[in-house]
Chain A
Amino acid sequence: MKDILKKRAVIVGLAIFAAVLILVLSAVFFGGRSSFLKSAASAVSAPFKKGVSAAASGLERLYGYMYKYDSLAAENEQLRLQIAEMENLVRDSEAISEENERYRELLGFAARHSDFTFESATVTSWTASNFSSAFTISKGSSSGIKLNDSVVSSDGCLIGTVTELGPSSATVTTVVDTTFSAGALVESSGVSCVAAGDFELMRKGQLRLSYLPVGVELTNGELIETSGIGGVLPRGIRIGKVVSAQYEAGSQALTAVIEPTVDFSSLSQVFIITDYEISE
């Protein structure tokens, strides 16, 4: 038995020696190239390495997520604020752009009436009454506004007149209100007449043109402007255009319905003519 064991030990020893010898010889003869054993070891260890690497990178990501969460949340909040600020800027710039457009329009009107002095104001509220047509503006006597001053839109169309005045606000009664009455001219022919508010037409946002001379013909779409007679309103401010004309029953008097060229429902900014030269 002992002999057998001795023989086996010798054989194993010789085998180990041979293996070492082969490794040494392969290292000597194939230096720099991976040996078969090395490749085999590499092939066996590769999945383990991949697994460990994946686990490590997962842990790293988790750590990074936990570590960076606060900074990302803060950055997100900051970006939200930036977006809100930029949205506000866009809104402001849109409002400024619209305001600029209105001033550009007014510039054209002001060029035609160089004697007019303007004061701009915003519409703060409309009356809740169904029996009148009026609104409140954001400026009053402290801005140089006076009673009966004309109020126009940016394109120079008559909106109404100042009928009530406070230090920092004023009430403007529109041209369709029953209390409005002004001398008017047919723009194309220069025929003089009177434009006045009418109770029935007020609900439709229109006013009536009356006291037209006998024999005058009016066509739909003709423009009507203020005559300046009476000295309350300046001359040459557009009131509206004719939408219908008819003879009064039983007489030869012609009356017409005018529609203001201003859309009252979309008014936000108005211009008050605080001073002008009365033309003789």
Chain B
Amino acid sequence: MTGKAIAKKIILYAVLLIVISLLQGSVFTYVKLFGAKPLFLPLFAVAFGLFEGSLWGGLLGLAAGIFCDFIVGDTLVLFTVLLPLLGFACGLLSEYILARGFPSFCACALISIFLCGFLQAFKYYAFTDIPFWPITAVILLQAAASAVFIIPVYWAVRFISRRAKA
């Protein structure tokens, strides 16, 4: 890949990340789906890994993670650590095991949504006396709200991935 192609890819993904982060941090802090705010930035880390491989998945996942922690606010560095790992892992899987298609993305995206929800809620499970089901209900609702974005995220990243390679 030439320097020009790399620069083009970086610019395209940077623009996408900024737009998505703005949406996540503004519109979707007010709009609720199924009674929960959707969290779709982790889906981008998965898509980056799947379409761009482990290295780009890790790097772009790191950027998405920083944005995500900044927007969500109560997670310290959870997403800054988690999303690069997700991007890297999905990249690795797509390089060796998974086909780069929608079923693979869908499966990885759903796993990542539940993983993010569970890790966000971990402190409530572990360190508070809040019952199990109310916390789990919030995780499930957040997962359902985020799952709505699986198809748009898949198409957006696939489109940019193809444009960057063209």
Could you tell me which A residues sit within 8 Å of B by CB distance?
125-132, 134, 136, 171, 178, 199-200, 203, 265
Contact = CB atoms under 8 A, between A and B. Distances in A.
A130 B141 contact: yes
A171 B138 CA distance: 23
Nearest to A265: B30
Contact of B29 (A126, A199, A200): A126
Contacts of A126: 29-30
Contacts of A132: 73-74
Contacts of B36: 130
A166 to B, nearest CB: 12
A127 B26 contact: no
Nearest to A204: B35
Interface stretch (B87-95, B120-128, B157-165): B120-128
B130 A199 contact: yes
Contact of B72 (A128, A136, A178, A199): A128
B138 A203 contact: yes
B134 interface: yes
B78 to A, nearest CB: 11
A129 B29 CA distance: 8
Contacts of B135: 199
A123 to B, nearest CB: 11
Interface residues of B, number: 25
Contacts of B134: 199-200
B54 interface: no
Contacts of A128: 24-25, 28-29, 37, 39, 71-73
A121 B133 CA distance: 37
B37 A131 contact: no
20 contacts: A125-B26, A126-B30, A128-B24, A128-B71, A128-B73, A129-B75, A130-B36, A130-B37, A130-B120, A131-B74, A131-B138, A132-B73, A132-B74, A134-B74, A136-B73, A178-B130, A199-B134, A199-B135, A203-B35, A265-B30
A129 B74 contact: yes
Q: Which 3 A-B pairs have the closest CB atoms?
A: A126-B29, A127-B73, A132-B74
Contacts of B141: 130
Contact of A171 (B24, B35, B73): B73
Given A125-B26, A127-B71, A199-B134, 9 more contacts: A130-B138, A130-B142, A131-B74, A132-B73, A178-B124, A178-B130, A199-B124, A199-B128, A203-B35
Contacts of B73: 127-129, 132, 134, 136, 171
Interface in B83-128: 120-121, 124, 128
Given A199-B134, A200-B134, A203-B138, A125 B29 contact: yes
B30 to A, nearest CB: 7
B132 to A, nearest CB: 11
* Residue picked from A171, A178, A199, most chain B C-beta under 10 Å: A199
Contacts of A200: 130, 134
Contacts of B25: 125, 128
Contacts of B75: 129
Contacts of B142: 130
A126 B29 CA distance: 6
Nearest to A133: B74
A186 B35 CA distance: 31
B48 to A, nearest CB: 20
A140 to B, nearest CB: 15
A131 B29 contact: no
Contacts of B120: 129-131
Interface in B24-48: 24-26, 28-30, 35-37, 39
Nearest to A198: B130
B156 to A, nearest CB: 19
Interface string B41-74: 0000000000000000000000000000001111
A132 B73 CA distance: 9
Nearest to B133: A200
A125 B128 CA distance: 27
